[in-house]
Amino acid sequence: MQATIFSLPSYLGILLFDAFLHQHNNKSSHQNTNRLYGVEFGMPILGLLLSFLMLQSAFALIAIACLVTLIMISFNLKRI
């Protein structure tokens, strides 16, 4: 098994920081940009793709699954 310096908290931290930073930038300068990404949560597609390229272990898949679940829950709660 290949050792990696990243762990599950590191992956979650990177992904969530990217998402919240992008969300903050949208609120301050581009209020309708969220809809362009197709995700109300504000996770940029480029950030997600770069995260996939960075990930090298099973922890990465767990982190992405958790993030996607949070995005879907957030999106569904906003529709109610």
**pLDDT for the residue numbered 19:** 66
Does residue 64 or residue 22 have the better pLDDT?
64
Whole-prediction pTM value?
Answer: 0.32
Residue 38 CB-density burial (10 A; 0-12 exposed, 13-18 middle, 19+ buried): exposed
| Beta carbons within 10 angstroms of residue 69's beta carbon | 10
- pLDDT averaged over the chain? 61
Give 73 or 11, the one with higher predicted confidence: 73
- What is the arithmetic mean of pLDDT over 56-80? 72
SS3 for 53?
helix
Boundaries of every domain in the chain: 8-79
More confident residue, 73 or 60: 73
